[in-house]
A and B are shown apart, each in its own frame.
Chain A
Amino acid sequence: MTAPKIKIGFAGTPELAFYHYQELAQDKEFDIQYILTQPVSKSGRGMLKSNYSLQDQSLSVKTFTPSNLKQKKFVDEVMKYEIDLLVVVAYGQILPKWILDYPKFGCLNVHFSLLPLYRGASPIQRCIEKGDYESGVSFMKLNEQMDAGPLYFQSKATIKDLDFYEVEKKLINLSLENLNSVIKKIVFESLKPKEQNHALASTANKITKEEGEVNWKNNYQDIHRKFKAFKNWPQTFFIFQNQKIKIHDMLIDPNKRGHAGTIAHVNKDSIGVFCNNGCILITDLQFPGKKIISAKDFFNSKRDIISVGDSLN
């Protein structure tokens, strides 16, 4: 007799990939053959802040950190590992065709949106920014087009009023709940992926730093959504007297109207700034190189810097 073991390769880099790795590793039906991960120094923004590591030598699994996925030595080495499936979670590099083709069931990728919506680098942020009521996770078979592979399974989640961290957490949990069973269905039950409806596709372009700057001419709804969407990076900020001031928390007042970009009030509860159709109430903020302060702290120590009637544009 043989016990059912699915041979898996894992490709992933940031913390959320590590959670997926752990979920796979604790399942006795899986046999993880190797990990593909980006070298620590090359992993991008926000990836070094926590103390996890897929490069950790204590993981008793062979780890590859190739910089060139087409290098012959690497290709030969990986090909020695026969696997059923390569699970790809936020690996951070485009996989060449030979990797897509070589596992028996191809490559399984988790994407944090309801595909075909939000294909691209920042699906969670773009979805919050747009004010969507729901999001979800999509398990797809990777092909050569970005996030356009056929779908094995999708699961939805309500994300109304949630910020980036809350949505990310919700979607990671949703993904972890379904990951192992999707893999078993693919390998044991020959689950076949279904083509996406490409006509409905939308993209979620990578966020730029500049997008974090508040445009006071926007509606309060847009400003508040961007604030929630960009909470991890690049965060929300405005420039005042050549200083980049970060907004760490805000409320909104739709009933207070005034000229966009003008300071409406400065009091112990908030700093009010008019936007197109209401007023943004800044309750927590941060000056460059300083710690985060509340509106009350600001009122007590710095209120002479910004006064009612000042313009932030």
Chain B
Amino acid sequence: MADRPVTILVSAIGGEGGGVLAGWIVGAARIAGYPVQSTSIPGVAQRTGATTYYIEVFPVPVSELGGREPVMGIYPGIGDIDVMIASEFAEAGRAIANGFVTPDRTMLIASTHRVYAINERGAMGDGRFDPARLETAVAERAREAFVADFRDAAEREGVSLNAVLLGVLAARGGLPMEPEIYRQAIEETGVAVTPNLKGFEAGLALSPDGRTAPSTAERQAPAPETGIREDFPETAQDILAEGAARLLSYQDRRYADRYLDRLSAVRDAEAAAGGDGTLLLETGRQLALRMSYEDVIRVAQLKIAPDRMARIREEVRAADGDPVIVIDYFKPGIEELCSVLPPALAVPVMALARRRGWIGRAHLGMRINATSISGYLRLRLLASLRGWRRRSWRFAEEQKQIDGWLDDVVGAARLSLPLAHEVASLAGLIKGYGDTFRRGAENYARIRARLVAAALSGQMPATTAADAVANAKAAALADPDGNRLELVLDAVDSDVASAAE
């Protein structure tokens, strides 16, 4: 007779149907006549928290136990889990960290999709947990693992994830129940039986390695033009081609050529320092973004892009033939409006706005129906200001800023390539709109003034400066109020001061 129950732990995120999945497993075990117990910490279930369900199935039918009752646990035990089902990949990681996945015992079934936690989503840059660490942990800790993007499989079938996971469990045979028993358990609930059976069959049919076909086709990158191929090292060619194409659609051929012209100085400086093209690549990437800065003209261009409606229809899953009305939210402030005016007008208006405290306060709120003729016309009109852009105040300002930054990159390359790389990527702080843009530009300016300038003028050793710039950039992205950045900058100051003593 078996000397222990089969133990199953299901971890899920509120609203993912972990409870329903556990219910099916319990139902199947009951139909098969096995003693079964389950319990859960549904906690604050619908509210994005992690939930767990723990099930024990004693693999001997009640009828053969002669009245004896196994004592079933209500807590999952470390090193004691036979089947671990995680409906999300970080939750699989949590189960591993909690000791519920062990090499001698545990079969792990996990969907590799991520549902990002709030601190991952809300980070000012990329705050996502490194999936490679999860993959390593899975490979090291599970006796056998069936991991794949089961959510993607479910979405393609139009069924729910939990039904697919039940199918995978049935196929992998972690429990003493045949697939038919699980089908009966689904039917017995009487809830959404048809789609859930469909999902179950989909999971059952997935191949043992859990692989599913990639859902989206690879994006076609523009082929580098002859000029780029001849003039720039191969490492950077793809990005430069991407950048040139971006600026061609953003402005015109002349502007795209200017992009490549500007980069030739960086290319030469890097070559002189013995670099391999990675500085050029990073600078080319940042430069394309800086030169295609987001003004109202650019936003209007993007909002009337020909493929936009098709993309939105797919994203919102509109059925063929169902009309979709798209309403865009705009709220340009004084700065955004001035950005398209010529300097002669914009400068005095901005000065007035600053005196009156209108910056960040006075806005023109608009909701434009981009699918209506009048709405589209307004956007089209804004987008057609593209030719005018060259004469705008913001254009002049941006070019000045960009040239200053490129001079820094080239100057830094003469001192140290790592420093130059940091100076190049520092431009990534400048992004977004309104407050976000102002905050990024201010942070950039602070780091530029206190670290980059010091390095370029020889007041700070280049290697120290490279680290300091990298730290400062990370700090600027740590909190929107700039508290961390101030701490880091002060720490650098005191380090430099003590080194000087």
The yes or no verdict on A and B being binding partners is no
Interface residues in chain A, defined as those with a beta carbon under 8 Å from any beta carbon in chain B? none
Interface residues in chain B, defined as those with a beta carbon under 8 Å from any beta carbon in chain A? none
